[in-house]
Structures are given as C-alpha cells and as structure tokens.
Copies of this chain bind each other. A is one copy, B any other.
Amino acid sequence: MLFMQKGKVQLVREDIMPRDLLTRVLLTRDLLPRVLPQDRAAGPGRPKDLAKRDAILAAARALFFSRGVEGVGIEEIARRANVSKMTVYGHFRDKAAILSAIVAAEAARMTSVLDEMPGEPRNLEQRLVAVGTALMTFLTSPELLAFERLLMSEAARRPDLASAMLEAGPRFGHRKLAEQLAAATTRGDLAIRHPVVAAEQLTSLWKGFLYLECQLGVRPSPTAEEIHRHVTEGVAMFLRSYRPSALP
C-alpha cells in the first residue's frame, strides 16, 4: 500500500519514540492500558508472535483508513494479515480494541512528527514557512487524511479517541509553535500578546480551505509547490498582522 513499506511496519513500540513521551501522550485518555496489554511475563508455552500482532494492526489500519471501521470485517483483516481469525482474537479482545491500538499508534506518530519540526533556518519568515510546509505536507498526506476521516466518524461513539488525538496532534503542535512565537516576540521580531492564540491562528491559516477540500476528498493532495505557495501566503498575512510596528 501507499503508507507502509512491506514487512517494515512499526506501530506502537518503544523503539520509535522515548517511552516517557509515548506514555505521556497515551495516558491523556487512559488509552494506554488497552494498547499495551498484560504480557504474561514469559512463562511456559509458546510465546505470542508480535510480528503477527503488527501485521494485524497494519492490515486493520489500511482497511479502516480506506473503508471505515464498520465497513471492514475481522475476517478480512485476518486474511490480509495472513493470519487466522482466532489469532486476531488472541491479540485483541474485539474490534474496538484494534481501533484503540491504531489510534494510539497514530497519536504517537503524530507527536513524534510534530516534535521534529524544522527549527533552525535563517530568518523568522523562512522558519515559519518551513514549519508550515512540513506540517501541511504531513496533514495532507493520504494516510493522515484517511485517519482524520476515520476519527471523525468514530468521534461520536468514542470520544476518548478524539481526545487522545487532539492532545497528541494539534494541542501539542500549538504549544510548540507558541513557544517559538513567544521567543520571537522577546527577540523583538514579533509583537504577540497571546502566543497560543497566535499559534492557533497561524495553524488555521496554514490549513485554510485547502485542507478542507482534501479532507472531503474533492481534490487530490496538493503538490509541494501548491503547499509552499499556500503556506507562504498565510505566513505573509500573519507577519503583517503581528509585526512589531503594529503594536505600540
């Protein structure tokens, strides 16, 4: 599929991000206990094959993303993961548990990506454009769009999932961006009274109508050029509003 190189599917595992950050993200809405279950501490008997667990999650992820939770059966997940149906139930209590694990993994990935946003380039405008471009590239990727759609349709039934994702994604991103904006303000490059508000505004400008169109699937994901142009427009507008001369 598009978003996973065959055989190399990593979901929630301590090797992709520091355990404490992962935990912090997932504990926001007691999602963790459902995701890292009792590991039976290596008694006698054949151990569980974690590769199969990952294969199940990868298969479910791809299927859920493209056809929604209700549109996919357990048997189909098992078939795609090259696994027996019973094995699926051996690893997960039910369908909802699979979804929880996927959302937790996605939340972790989101935080991880946001945590590595570019921070160094030369002047402020270039830095903001770089961050915005990276963010929009991430957000408009087919897999992220599919994930948001999925989350939206499950939001009513499973508010915990939406909560976890909001915390790991937007809120986390806003805090990080707000820090940068505050720093720029103390440096004298910007005049911002409420950095968090400004960060939310900037993010909204970055997303704009473009993101909505992508989310509803009425247009393909934007090219790098389109994203760059769109983000640059937003940054310019933002900087005009918050340039130091604007506030006494």
Contact = CB atoms under 8 A, between A and B. Distances in A.
Interface residues of A, number: 42
Interface string A187-224: 00000000001001101110111001101111000000
A151 interface: yes
A66 B70 CA distance: 16
A80 interface: no
Nearest to A158: B217
A17 interface: no
A184 interface: no
Contacts of A176: none
A153 B215 CA distance: 10
What is the interface of chain A mostly: helix, strand, loop, or mixed?
helix
A156 B68 contact: yes
A31 B207 CA distance: 29
Nearest to A191: B240
A152 interface: yes
B170 A212 contact: yes
A155 interface: yes
A162 B216 contact: yes
Contact of A201 (B70, B156, B205, B215): B205
A163 interface: yes
Interface stretch (A86-94, A112-120, A127-135, A230-238): A230-238
Contact of A208 (B66, B204, B217, B241): B204
B200 A208 contact: yes
Given A166-B213, A166-B216, A204-B209, 7 more contacts: A68-B153, A149-B153, A152-B153, A153-B153, A163-B216, A170-B209, A204-B205
30 contacts: A66-B156, A67-B156, A68-B70, A70-B71, A146-B156, A149-B152, A149-B153, A149-B156, A151-B216, A153-B153, A155-B216, A155-B217, A156-B217, A159-B218, A162-B217, A166-B213, A166-B216, A170-B209, A170-B212, A197-B233, A201-B208, A201-B237, A203-B209, A204-B208, A204-B209, A205-B205, A237-B241, A237-B242, A238-B241, A240-B246
